[in-house]
Chains A and B, each alone.
Chain A
Amino acid sequence: MAETSPTVQLLSPEGVLQTGATAEQYLPYIEALSDDQLRQFHRDMVITRRFDLEATNLQRQGQLALWPPSQGQEAAQVGSAHAMRPQDHVFPSYREHAVGLVRGVDAVDIVRLMRGVTNGGWNPAECGNFHLYTLVLGSQSLHSTGYAMGIAFDGASATGNPETDEAVVVYFGDGATSQGDVSEALVYAASFQTPQLFFLQNNHWAISVPVSVQSRTPLYLRAEGFGVPSTRVDGNDVLASYAVSRKYLDETRAGGGPRFIEAMTYRIGAHTTSDDPTKYRQNEELNSWIARDPIARFEAWLRSRGESDSFFVELAAEAEDFAADVRKRTVELGPPSADLIFDNVYSEPHPVMDVQKQWLGDYEASFGAGV
């Protein structure tokens, strides 16, 4: 069934711009992009991939507790991230490294979370409204819907001014679509007609369980059942991801109600560094997706448009520097203060926190006193 479902693709795997009715509908969004913006798409994908590799290596070397690699999903993320406006809010799952970097998160802050020195990592208000990673699958879908309800209550969407009208994007995966919270978020979003884009990255595997176990129907069709218009895109095509996200964000911020995108992509690496995908995936499948690599495809297209070799050479060097900087700052990270255990559990004073923090301080101090 999946093979027969229409999928928006603007760039073929060989990097050739598509023609035809579907492409015609979306190409104006691409034609409006400057050369610099297109270079930025590529830069963001290349930097993210190099960062992702470095973080994976850091985990292998004992510097991180865990790393969820994003390799293969860069186009889905970078395209949708660039379709947002500065005032938009983003509710990620835990693999949206490219989106975070585009929205202004410091890569080392993502690493800090995975190193175990924080349960958060960054202040969303200072990082492009990119909210914290959520490790319980699908939970953030309801937070995003509630946030979007608040935007609507505030009258901060649907005024007709796209420069100020706000919208929300929520990211989740194929595994999370089986969680009740995702269905409830769609129910609430439809009911309250939220300014919100549901962005599903179908990377085909929920750890070791294939998407066929999650659903017998193409996942984007589920949204239609909730009354939420939806489109499936080639998630390895950054232009398709950008254009469809842009169209849907324009519509939803203008008051058209929620929208849903299923981006078909593939997790080239493991679910996380704790996982061994060779136990459950076939090489042929992996290779077929490597042949559809999002970065190679976009590079081929940029070159066909006359992008100079020096751009790619310089970008590769920039990515190396980026990774080296992440490594340097990661290994320099110290342990958090024990105060982190107690501070901010509550926003207001709490007697139990005070007593236990005091007790721990006295207990620790007692070891130093007599020696």
Chain B
Amino acid sequence: MSAAMEELPLAKALTAGLRKALGDDRKVLLMGEDIGPLGGVFRVTEGLQAEFGTNRVFDTPLAESGIVGTAIGLALRGYRPVCEIQFDGFIFPAFDQITTQLAKMTSRHEGQVHMPVVIRVPYGGHIGAVEHHQESPEAYFAHTPGLRVVSPSTANDAYWMIQEAIASNDPVLFFEPKSRYWNKGPVNRVASEVPLHASRIARVGSHVTVVGHGAMVTVLLQAAELAEAEGTSVEVVDLRSLSPIDYAPILESVQKTGRLIVASEAPGFASLTSEIAATVAERAFYSLEAPVLRVNAFDTPFPPAKLESTYLPDADRVLEAVDRALAY
């Protein structure tokens, strides 16, 4: 490993990215519940208040609409607020401010103001937590014009994408795969390798393409590993950006494999997986050898944690879809 590379858990790569952004631009602020002395419930902001002061990194009252609503005002003042929403299921009190205000401010002002607001959301299951702590609400925000939605799956992407999200003059919903916070990976501190809104081939294959984001990428890579043992070559695409979606690598992959499976931890009805399936069917119809298949959680509320391994798609559920696609 070169001197520029270091091995970091995803959460600490985020901390490093936030520290870099705070150091580079004094207009960058971190705000949220318990992010100060405690460093956030996942310790992503650990040490940052001590380093940058209480005017740059501060605890807010426990009101999510207040976090986002005041962040909008701070952005109008010229700041670049980075809001932490403590858990996925607690973003809904802020839903009104995000969808009716944050997403529409720039177009309402006909471009006379920018909204450089980042909303960090630890999302998804696999952590055995109680209700409202394991959800995947990305699609609500991807559906809303005016927002950008991204989700890193690796430590390196976490480090770079958080900085690129903060540098964007548009509001960015930043979904962090909380179950992967402690997965270590190499971080290249010298140069970003992929633009914020680009998708990425995470593993090269030739028989079938599987697409996902965030924590699902680990599951897809595991499935690809298992498939290889059985002689099936699976190409894995890490979406990274959920709005806009970078379709070029997906379409190129499908032109090669002729088969596509789209996977996510969210319910599949009116979802990102259905969106991608529809778009690929429209744009790569003659390349497809099988229908685009979706692998999702069930169209139910997230069940009690003792059932999460049954509810969330795992490598076997992905491979079941791979087998169905190959049977056409």
Q: What residues of chain A have their CB less than 8 Å away from a CB belonging to chain B?
A: 118-120, 123-125, 131-132, 134, 136, 139, 141-151, 153-154, 180-181, 184-185, 187-188, 191, 340, 343-348, 350-352
Contact = CB atoms under 8 A, between A and B. Distances in A.
B65 A151 contact: no
Contacts of B225: none
A316 B55 CA distance: 52
Given A132-B108, A345-B106, A346-B146, A139 B77 contact: no
Given A150-B77, A345-B106, 9 more contacts: A124-B112, A131-B76, A132-B109, A146-B69, A187-B63, A343-B110, A346-B106, A350-B244, A352-B244
Contact of B72 (A124, A146, A180): A146
A154 B77 contact: yes
Nearest to A344: B111
A184 B74 contact: no
Contacts of B79: 150, 153
B70 A345 contact: no
Given A151-B77, A185-B66, A343-B111, A348 B244 contact: no
Interface in B146-174: 146, 148, 168-170
A184 B78 contact: no
Contacts of B70: 142-143, 145-146, 149, 185, 188
Contacts of A145: 66, 69-70, 73
A184 B63 contact: yes
B107 A345 contact: yes
Contacts of B78: 150
B244 A188 contact: no
Contacts of B65: 142, 180-181, 184
A146 B110 contact: no
Contacts of B146: 345-346
Interface stretch (B17-25, B84-92, B97-105, B230-238): B97-105
Contacts of B13: none
A184 B76 contact: no
Contacts of A180: 63, 65, 93
B169 A347 contact: yes
Nearest to A134: B101
Q: Is the interface of A mostly helix, strand, loop or mixed?
A: helix
A347 B96 contact: no
Contacts of A125: 112
B115 interface: yes
A150 B71 CA distance: 9
Contact of B97 (A151, A154, A181, A352): A181
B69 A181 contact: yes
Nearest to A342: B107
Interface in B46-92: 55, 60-61, 63, 65-66, 68-79
A340 B110 contact: yes
Given A139-B101, A148-B73, A151-B77, A348 B169 contact: yes
B96 A187 contact: no
A123 B109 contact: yes
B197 to A, nearest CB: 8
Nearest to B197: A351
Contact of B100 (A132, A139, A141, A184): A139
A150 B244 CA distance: 31
Most A CB contacts (10 A, CB to CB) among B70, B77, B96, B104 go to: B70
Contacts of A343: 110-111
A139 B69 CA distance: 7
B213 interface: no
Most A CB contacts (10 A, CB to CB) among B106, B108, B170 go to: B108
B209 to A, nearest CB: 21
A182 to B, nearest CB: 10
A362 B191 CA distance: 40
Nearest to B167: A348
A351 B70 CA distance: 30
Most A CB contacts (10 A, CB to CB) among B72, B73, B78 go to: B73
